[in-house]
A and B are shown apart, each in its own frame.
Chain A
Amino acid sequence: MDKTTSLEEIITLLVEKYEGRLERVEDSLDAAIRVKDQLFFQVAKELKEEHGLDFLTDLTALDLGEGKFRGIYHLMSWKPYRLLRIEVDASGEEPWLPSITELWPAANVQEREVFDMFGIIYDGHPNLTRILLSEDFEGHPLRKSYVTKSRRK
């Protein structure tokens, strides 16, 4: 990896390479790209191995409503300091995203948490089970469609 290549240059490089399937997020305060779900694993691998963004800072998700979900990933490089956000859209009653546990073993528990809360299926995850809620819990509480029933006495 060429350390003189700036994050902006890396993004431009990727946008040109995967034209139409990877785009820069324009209205963002920090550097961010949006990737199609089929391509995401490949891009993540490339960023880790070729561009030095080898630290998975955070992995979470968003419910955009109307059955649309978005996986959010923060990749980081310590030297030189860089932080890149990757957004991956997923949709449907059973939204899915590619698992990145192969690249970052730490993603294992975080993907389980997102599965627990949002019901996003991580394709290729070795053990995709609930992690915070009890096994017999029904539904995924952070979905906008989830209705919380009061259990107050």
Chain B
Amino acid sequence: MAVNSNNLEKIDPVEEQVKKNIIMTTVDQALDYARAHSFWPVTFGLACCAIEMMAAGGARYDIARFGYEVFRPSPRQADLMIVAGTITDKMAPLVKRIFDQMPEPKYVIAMGSCAISGGPFADSYHVVPGADTILPVDVYLPGCPPRPEALIDALLTLREKVKNPKVVMEAHG
């Protein structure tokens, strides 16, 4: 193999190490990347969807694979609220309060028909017609109830949203 001795001399070994081992990014991007790969959902279930949420946290579906398994019993330590179930008028102020207690940045997944629109209870006398009437919802997850795989998909969708905030802003205003 022919070696060009002139070029060899020009390569700076330090520069080479820099290219291989250092990634240039902004602090925001690095933080978004970290956040997107380690959501800490608040332990919070309202109805049957919560059973599927628990199944997703269990060994079979294992959302720990993605780094989302740390269900926090305190809203102060959580950054994701999975609204899993029917919100009644009586529960709505408490849901709002738990959300308000979570530190920024925080995200909301509306899990199941009830959390999206009130579901089968949309015309009922005491059910909130959708979590988005009281909370800023990031991801809507349809199903009644959605399977754990669907919840995983919702979490991965949210991951893309958190990693690429500008793309989401352009696509959805």
Q: Given A152-B117, A153-B130, check contact A134 B125 (CB 8 Å).
A: no
CA distance A133 to B90 in the complex (A): 6
B123 beta carbon closer than 8 Å to chain A: yes
Closest Cβ neighbor of A142 among chain B residues: B125
In the complex, the 9 A-B pairs of residues with the closest C-beta atoms, listed nearest first: A134-B90, A141-B125, A150-B123, A151-B129, A152-B122, A148-B125, A134-B89, A133-B126, A152-B129
Contact with B along A105-141 (1 / 0, CB 8 A): 0000000000000000000000000001110010001
Partner-A contacts on B (CB < 8 A): 88-90, 117-118, 122-126, 129-130, 133
Distance (Å) between the CB of B95 and the closest chain A CB?
Answer: 13
For A151, give its contact among B88, B90, B122 (CB under 8 Å): B122
Residue from A134, A149, A151 having most chain B Cβ neighbours under 10 A: A151
Q: Classify the interface of chain B: helix, strand, loop or mixed.
A: loop
Residue from B90, B117, B125 having most chain A Cβ neighbours under 10 A: B125
B123 and A133 contact, CB distance less than 8 A: no
CA distance A133 to B88 in the complex (A): 9
Distance (Å) between the CB of A137 and the closest chain B CB?
Answer: 7
B117 and A153 contact, CB distance less than 8 A: yes
Q: Given A152-B117, A152-B129, A153-B117, check contact A137 B122 (CB 8 Å).
A: no
B89 and A133 contact, CB distance less than 8 A: yes
Count of chain A residues with Cβ under 8 Å from any Cβ of B? 12
For A148, give its contact among B90, B124, B129 (CB under 8 Å): B124
Q: Classify the interface of chain A: helix, strand, loop or mixed.
A: loop
Q: What residues on A are CB-neighbors of B90 within 8 Å?
A: 132-134
Q: What residues on A are CB-neighbors of B118 within 8 Å?
A: 151-152
Closest Cβ neighbor of B130 among chain A residues: A153
Q: What residues on B are CB-neighbors of A151 within 8 Å?
A: 118, 122-123, 129
B125 and A152 contact, CB distance less than 8 A: no
Q: What residues on B are CB-neighbors of A132 within 8 Å?
A: 90, 126
Closest Cβ neighbor of A150 among chain B residues: B123
Closest Cβ neighbor of A151 among chain B residues: B129
- Pairs A–B under 8 Å by Cβ, sample size 7: A134-B88, A134-B90, A134-B126, A151-B122, A152-B129, A153-B117, A153-B130
Q: What residues on B are CB-neighbors of A146 within 8 Å?
A: 125
Residue from B88, B90, B130 having most chain A Cβ neighbours under 10 A: B90
Distance (Å) between the CB of A132 and the closest chain B CB?
Answer: 8
CA distance A146 to B124 in the complex (A): 12
CA distance A152 to B117 in the complex (A): 8
Residue from A148, A149, A153 having most chain B Cβ neighbours under 10 A: A153
CA distance A132 to B118 in the complex (A): 18
Distance (Å) between the CB of A93 and the closest chain B CB?
Answer: 20
Closest Cβ neighbor of B128 among chain A residues: A151
